[in-house]
């Protein structure tokens, strides 16, 4: 369990990395779509930020009319905000953890409308707004709040929730544990698939659920590598973490390539 705690702390401390935000949103949207109802689309932070900056040529194969809600987290310098598009309602929503929504609404309107127009959608009555939402009380939790906003939007609930320091710590740890267990589940499924192929058997790649990390399940190197894999491959155009061991993680010696 020592490896489990160290890896959880690794994600916990780096929760605002785009890889972690993207992986969390992707999993959230996949879970939402499995429940039926309005289909959702998650746009990764790189692409959503490009849209926010007026780059309408991005995601040319995307057909917004197929989705009830499209959401993505925008990276402004040293800050994360959530942008949501409702294609059928011809509107978009912006939620800023610092509460600077007034200055963001106009930009949200212009950029999301331009993106939708470039995709061939009707935008003559397009509008943008914000709604009351919880605000961060520090300067380091914007990523957490953007993820929580997305969770509430998908659940069609008000984006308000406890914003105390203790609550934010709980949110961070919940995300870290969820991503870590998803990583181990996928890694276990991959190993099963590989074993079956070696034995000449056929099987569907079905990740196991409810797994947790222990050294007996493959060792530190494999677990860290699998954590790297799910985060880096969950979204497009994000850097991949190098394989490191638990000691380097504990010593905060993170390297990227």
Mean pLDDT, contiguous 10-residue spans, the chain (257 residues): 45 63 91 90 94 90 93 91 96 94 90 94 93 92 94 95 92 83 59 58 40 34 43 36 35 36
Helix (H) or strand (E) holding 25, with range, is helix 18-34
**Total number of domains in the chain:** 2
Q: Bridge partners of 127?
A: 91
Instruction: State which of 146, 162, 178 marks the end of a domain.
Output: 162
Whether residues 241 and 148 fall in one domain = no
DSSP 38: S
Q: Which residue has the tokens 């192929």?
A: 197
Distance from C-alpha of 184 to C-alpha of 226, rounded to nearest angstrom: 7
Q: What are the two backbone dihedrals, phi and then psi, of residue 88, each rounded to the nearest 5 degrees? A: -70, -25
Distance from C-alpha of 143 to C-alpha of 158, rounded to nearest angstrom: 18
pLDDT of residue 183: 67
Whether residues 42 and 150 fall in one domain = yes
In terms of residue numbers, what domain contains 200? 166-247
Distance from C-alpha of 254 to C-alpha of 256, rounded to nearest angstrom: 7
Query: Residue 15: inside a domain, yes or no?
Result: no
Q: What are the two backbone dihedrals, phi and then psi, of residue 53, each rounded to the nearest 5 degrees? A: -90, 10
pLDDT of residue 184: 59
pLDDT of residue 77: 82
Six-digit token pair at 148?
């929580």
Whether residues 50 and 150 fall in one domain = yes
Distance from C-alpha of 50 to C-alpha of 90, rounded to nearest angstrom: 20
pLDDT of residue 100: 80
């Amino acid at each position: 369990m020592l490896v489990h705690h160290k890896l959880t702390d690794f994600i916990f401390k780096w929760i605002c990395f785009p890889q972690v935000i993207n992986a969390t949103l992707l999993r959230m949207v996949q879970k939402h779509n499995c429940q039926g109802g309005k289909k959702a689309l998650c746009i990764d932070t790189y692409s959503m930020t490009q849209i926010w900056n007026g780059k309408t040529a991005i995601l040319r194969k995307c057909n917004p009319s197929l989705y009830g809600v499209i959401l993505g987290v925008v990276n402004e310098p040293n800050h994360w905000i959530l942008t949501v598009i409702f294609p059928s309602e011809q509107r978009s929503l912006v939620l800023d953890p610092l509460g600077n929504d007034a200055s963001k609404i106009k930009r949200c309107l212009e950029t999301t409308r331009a993106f939708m127009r470039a995709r061939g959608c009707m935008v003559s009555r397009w509008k943008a707004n914000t709604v009351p939402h919880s605000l961060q009380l520090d300067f380091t939790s914007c990523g957490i709040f953007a993820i929580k906003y997305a969770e509430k939007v998908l659940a069609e609930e008000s984006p308000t929730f406890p914003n105390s320091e203790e609550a934010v710590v709980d949110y961070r740890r919940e995300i870290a544990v969820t991503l870590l267990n998803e990583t181990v589940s996928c890694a276990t499924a991959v190993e099963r698939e590989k074993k079956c192929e070696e034995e000449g058997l056929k099987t569907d790649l079905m990740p196991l659920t409810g797994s947790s990390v222990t050294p007996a399940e493959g060792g530190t190197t494999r677990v860290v590598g699998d954590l790297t894999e799910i985060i880096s491959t969950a979204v497009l155009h994000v850097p991949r973490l190098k394989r490191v061991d638990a000691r380097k993680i504990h010593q905060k010696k993170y390297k990227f390539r």
